[in-house]
Structures are given as structure tokens and as C-alpha cells.
Structure 1
Amino acid sequence: MNVYVLEHIYGNDECESENYKFLGVFDSAESAEKAIEFLSGLPGFRDYPDGFLIEKYAMNDVHWTEGFGWDE
């Protein structure tokens, strides 16, 4: 089974920052697209319509398998 994670990300060139929002988890890409249709009309989101991202994930799988370290 797969799930579809909806996020919104945009950067500000002046301060080189990135703004990230986790928006939800959906059972289909179509449901995530419907959420984008709704959110696109809201303040902030309508100013950055290209910031929406849908990512497909398999359930019950580990998606980060390399570990991490502070000396990268």
C-alpha cells in the first residue's frame, strides 16, 4: 500500500531561507491534488503555487537507510 505526502516548500532569495510546511498524508495522488486545489486559494499558498510537492511512499518500509552524521 502507498500513501501520498503533501508538502509546500518555498525559498526566499533575499535571505536564502527555505520555508517548509507538512500539509497531510493521502490515500491517493488524486486526493492530494484535490487538497492542492483547495489550498491554492489560501493566503500565502496562492503567492507560491509552484511550491506544492506530492511524494509517494510505500507503507511499512524504512525510507532513510544511510544513517546520518555531523561530519558530513
Structure 2
Amino acid sequence: MTIVYDLWFTREYEDREDTELHIGIYASRPDADAAIEALKGKPGFRDYPEGFEAHEVVLGQTGWQYGFITTIGAPPKDAAGEAFDLPAFD
């Protein structure tokens, strides 16, 4: 079993889509931490250093094993409707 570290940056907003950036996949936690150190002084990142998350992942293991369905949600103030995907559990 090989463990890798999947590094993401997320900035949450109340009134718009969150910013989600996939930074990369690293062979070790120290490698992921080094990437965070290298990026946290860059524009945007330096204002939200708490947005980094490194997730431990088993390499080659399927994480999501279900399909999905698309539905139309309640319309935002300025749109006719918004489509989004939901898990499709069998």
C-alpha cells in the first residue's frame, strides 16, 4: 500500500463559488509541507494561509465508487436555475 499526499487550496466565500485549486500530489507529508512553504508567500495564498489541506490518499484505490445525478436547484437571484451534481447511491 502506497500513501501519497494530495494538496489542495480552498478559499470559501459566502456569496459566490469557492476557489478550489489542486496544487499537486506528493510522495510524502514533508514534500507536501515544503510545497505549502514555497507557496504561502505568493499573492492570494499569503492572505489565506489556512486554505491549504494535504489529504492522505492510498495510491491506486478508488475513492468514489458511486455514480452521480444532475439536478436543477433553486435559482440564484440573477439566474434561471443552477445545475449541480449529487451522489447516486445504488
Please give the TM-score of this superposition, normalised by the length of structure 2. 0.72
Structure 2 counterpart of 1:8: 9
Counterpart-to-counterpart distance in 2, 1:20 and 1:31:
20
Please give the TM-score of this superposition, normalised by the length of structure 1. 0.88
Counterpart-to-counterpart distance in 2, 1:32 and 1:59:
15
Q: Tell me whether 1:40 sits opposite 2:40 in the alignment.
A: yes
| Between structures 1 and 2, the one with greater helix share | 1
Counterpart-to-counterpart distance in 2, 1:12 and 1:59:
31
Tell me which stretches of 4 or more aligned residues in structure 1 moved more than 2 Å: none
Structure 1 counterpart of 2:57: 57
Identity between Structure 1 and Structure 2 (%): 32
Counterpart-to-counterpart distance in 2, 1:24 and 1:70:
28
More contact order relative to length (CA 8 Å, sep ≥ 6): 1
Counterpart-to-counterpart distance in 2, 1:61 and 1:12:
32
Structure 2 counterpart of 1:24: 24
Q: Secondary structure at the match of 1:35?
A: helix
Q: Tell me whether 1:66 sits opposite 2:62 in the alignment.
A: no
State how many pairs are aligned. Answer: 71
Q: Which runs of 5+ in 1 are unaligned?
A: none
